[in-house]
Amino acid sequence: MTKKVQKYGEAIGEIEEIINQIESNELDIDNLTEKIRRASELLKFCKEKLHATENEVKKIIEDLETNS
């Protein structure tokens, strides 16, 4: 089931879908572990993406301040 996520928005959408399935009791116990594992992977991806974006923005700002 491990799908590669290319975009942050896709990951957030999938996390929301998993949360909705859990909250509505749509998952049986066998699928619950799999969905929780997938949500964990997606959260890690989102955290890494946010961190990388933050670093990139900081670098752009530093470059702008240096060149001004």
Residue 63 structural domain: 8-67
Mean pLDDT for the stretch of residues 49-57: 97
Residue 57 forms part of a structural domain: yes
Read off the tokens for 65. Answer: 């301040």
Of the pLDDT bands very low, low, confident and very high (cuts 50, 70, 90), residue 2 is low
List Cβ<8 Å contacts ≥24 apart for 12-18: 12/46, 14/38, 14/42, 15/39, 15/42, 15/43, 15/46, 18/42
- Flag whether pLDDT at 20 surpasses 80: yes
Note the maximum CA span of the chain: 59
Question: Cβ distance 27 to 35 under 8 Å?
Answer: yes
Band of pLDDT at residue 18, cut at 50, 70 and 90: very high
Q: pLDDT at position 4, please?
A: 73
Residue 23 within a domain: yes
Question: How many domains are contained in the chain?
Answer: 1
Which pLDDT value is given to residue 53? 96
